Amino acid sequence: MEFKKYSYPKTIIMRVFSSFLRKIRAEHNLSQEGLRALLNERSHSFDSLDTISISRWERGINTPSLTKQSEIAEVFGDDLFNIYSSDLDFVKESLYAIQLSGNGKNDKAAHPYYKNDQYHTKSMLPDHVDFASMLKLCLMYEGNPRLLPIHQEITSTALLKPLNLVSAFCNSSQLVGHCLFCKVNTKALFEFMNCTIGIMELLNVAKQERANVLVVLSSFGVSPAIDNHMMSVYLNQLATDKAIEYLSFSTCDSKLKQKLMQMKIPMFKVKPIEHQSKIIQNYSFIMSRSEVMANRNMLMLSVIATRELQSTNVGI
């Protein structure tokens, strides 16, 4: 799995955010001084803000960081996903970035059966006829001992109901990517991260209580383009589900860990697990919704709905 920093014209970011600023000032009948005072009151991040900076933002001369943009959006009950997903140029650039990541000479997967062929994705819930077989393959790839109890309950659709599995296929049936995730609450998530409860207890809580965390248990693609596609699936779900306040990863996949670190996502915990006389590292990450949206790479992936990716990147 290879990660590449995406690039896009800075003018798009400046234009989108300048339009947003002008819009909210008009809607709330605020002068530039009024906006400055409001932001200064709400956050210390804007202690040194002046009207000259606001004027430059609105004219598209420069723009604040995505972190500050996220703070400004939240002050007005909005978020960066809403702002940027509604801009067609930004969405097109995001789609292009994913396509570009698979076009380099070194980007072809080292797999005998995949040479950047066309592929398609399939979303499966536990009652899907192929769910059990695809889940087994997903668990074999992930190699996380903490997920092994799922094997024992793989035929119980009721117990596994909170799981979401999306698989990518080429040549009709060859698996070339997947992502496995569920939605839980923060209390259960931290208990799971600290090994106080296991995966089946986590899924049981997910069925019964309000969820505010999307936790990714496995995410993989044989090429950078498919890998990014899989990541865009759950990021788009997080972005469109306003009840989700946090994104978390719990994985033993060192390649996924490396990609997350390259995306500047801080690691929360490393938990060594003994399994079959070996020590396996379980990596945990967690970030707030606003932190996800303020991460340039995740923001770009989140604005791409799965149907747009399929119609643009793959011939289905």
Q: What topology does CATH give the domain 109-313? A: Aminopeptidase (3.40.630)
- Bridge partners of 221, per DSSP, are 177
Q: What is the pLDDT of residue 315?
A: 33
For range 96-109, the mean pLDDT: 55
What span, in angstroms and rounded, lies between the C-alpha atoms of 174 and 91? 29
| Average pLDDT for the chain | 85
Q: Strand 164-170 and strand 267-275: pairing?
A: unpaired
**Other CB atoms closer than 10 Å to residue 14's CB: what's the count?**
18
For range 94-120, the mean pLDDT: 63
The two tokens of residue 155 are 């035929």
Give the tens place of pLDDT for each residue, 243-298.
999 999 999 999 999 999 999 998 999 999 888 888 999 999 999 999 999 998 89
pTM for the full predicted model: 0.87
Q: What is the pLDDT of residue 67?
A: 93
Secondary-structure class of domain 10-78 per CATH: mainly alpha
The domains of the chain are located at 10-78, 109-313
Task: Give yes or no for a contact between 93 and 301, defined as CB atoms under 8 angstroms apart.
Answer: no
Task: Give yes or no for a contact between 213 and 247, defined as CB atoms under 8 angstroms apart.
Answer: yes
Give the tens place of pLDDT for each residue, 136-190.
888 888 888 888 887 666 667 788 889 999 999 987 788 899 999 999 999 999 9
